Amino acid sequence: MLTRPLIQTALPGPKAKAILERDRRQMSTSYVRPYALVPERGEGCWLYDVDGNSFLDLMAGIAVNTTGYAHPRVVKAVTEQAQKFAHVCFSDFTHDSAVTLAERLAAKLGGGYRVFFGNSGTEGIEAAIKLARYHTRRPYLISFAGSFHGRTLGSLSLTASNAKYRRGFGPLLPHVVHLPYPHPYRPPLGASPENVGQAVLDYLEHLFRTSLPADEVAAVFLEPIQGEGGYVVPPKGFVQGLRELTQRHGILLVADEVQSGVGRTGTFLAMEQEGVQADIVVLAKGLASGYPISAVLFREELSTWTPAAHGTTFGGNAVSVAAALATLDLLEEGVMDNARRVSEHLMRGLLELQKKHPRLGDVRGRGLMIGLDFVKDRETRNEDPALRDQVQQKAFEKGLLVLSAGPSTVRLAPPLILTLEEADIALDVLGEVLRAVGA
Ligand SMILES: Cc1ncc(COP(=O)(O)O)c(C=O)c1O
């Protein structure tokens, strides 16, 4: 194991530079290249670029590589399945391993859920939107400011983390209402950090009385921890309050656990820590350690749609399913326990750094879903996107991969196999970065 990232060339190195130049000429201009990383191979939590530089990866392909790069158990499962078959079109033809995966996922939620497999987070959210409308025959959908649910037109209609994702693509779905998210560090609605959860619930009841008929609302889409919006944890009691309110009005609660699910927060679902069961749960990103898959789990009694009402060609792909089964095995054999243990250690170190660096305004998160929010000063808590970008870039130059989220947050979403020693390396490098940028 490496004791430090090793950066041997000025970044980007010559090979990376040449590929980035081809990328710039050839690829869609919609891609983002936040820093000049061109990987060649990965192992565990380490990524090696085409110029031989090594990086400690605390972003895991945006919270995807649950068991790190090329975990031998995942590689074995994928290889063995690829030698049998990759695809039979699960929409029409079933196979054993996909049913097994569905059974295991449903059991993790305590049973009573059916499963629909897709390929990506956004496809899972589309399925949830369609199911919610189909089952309730109600038109309205509610999501939160700051939320990210995907980029296809249905999920994009719910997404509200950045206007640039939506600009130019309208008209989006009608009948979508965005609520303020109960952000404890920057509370909306003139609320305090203590009462912001209740303030948002009261605001929703106000909308029900004035403009939004509750009996026309199909579902509320909630990220139990906002991801793209800045790794924001809602205040205690909010999710329970929302569950109670939705139940009272016959509205479905959809937990978008695309980023927060599959052990990332130290429990299989982030919702478990709220003590709340959603009607529909969407998983994707981390489910198969890098292989494309999404799973929509929905309560048995919602399964009123008829054959062919919804489907997809690649969903339930046997290679992705094999990777997901291996990932679940590893989570159950100790990877999730590791996430909890390393999270505590990392959090302690980050809170120490926060004491020394006043512009690191907030350190928050659960498990290995941790956000560092950078501010102009502690008093106003005004966001400092430029400082955040500097932190991200400087970390990259020192061989530590982190990624922005929201207006002023750096997110840490490492593989859940990160060791305590690797967490210490990350803390060391982050300390150097914060000193270098004058945070
Ligand atoms: C919470 C959440 N939902 C949905 C999505 C969309 O997933 P995908 O990019 O796989 O379509 C994302 C992706 O970042 C996400 O974080």
SS (H, E, C) 92-103: CCCCHHHHHHHH
pLDDT at 3: 81
Å from CA of 99 to ligand 1 middle: 24
* pLDDT value of position 53: 97
Our measurement of the distance from residue 299's CA atom to the centroid of its chain's CA atoms, rounded to an integer in Å, reads 22
Name 172's Cβ contacts closer than 8 Å, sequence gap at least 6.
153, 156, 157, 166
Pick out the chain residues at pLDDT < 50: none
Residues 6+ apart with CB under 8 A from 321: 81, 97, 98, 101, 117, 288, 293
Q: Is the CB of 119 under 6 A from ligand 1?
A: no
* Protein fold of 14-70+335-436: Aspartate Aminotransferase, domain 1 (3.90.1150)
Ligand 1 within 6 A of 149 CB?
Answer: yes
Distance CA 46, CA 399 (A): 10
Write the DSSP symbol of residue 297: E
The predicted-structure confidence for 20-44, as pLDDT tens digits, reads as follows 999 999 999 999 999 999 999 999 9
Does an H or E element contain 321, and which? helix 318-330
Contact yes or no for 97/321 (Cβ under 8 A)? yes
CA of 149 to the centre of ligand 1 (A): 5
Looking at the chain, the domain(s) classified CATH 3.40.640.10 span 87-316
Q: How far is the C-alpha of 197 from the C-alpha of 204, rounded, in Å?
A: 11
Question: What pLDDT sits at residue 1?
Answer: 61
- Residue intervals of the chain classified under CATH 3.90.1150.10 are 14-70+335-436
Q: How many angstroms separate the alpha carbon of residue 258 from the centre of ligand 1? A: 6
Q: Which pLDDT score, from 0 to 100, does residue 148 have?
A: 98
Q: How far apart are CA 103 and CA 120, in angstroms?
A: 20
Domain 87-316's class?
alpha beta
Beta bridge mates, 116: 296
Task: Please tell me if the CB atom of residue 268 comes closer than 6 angstroms to any atom of ligand 1.
Answer: no
Q: Which residues contact 317 (CB under 8 A, 6 or more apart)?
A: 86, 87, 90, 119, 291, 292, 293
* Ligand 1 centroid distance, CA of 164 (Å): 16
Inter-residue contact 281 to 255 (CB < 8 Å):
yes
* Cβ neighbour number for residue 119 with a 10 Å cutoff: 19
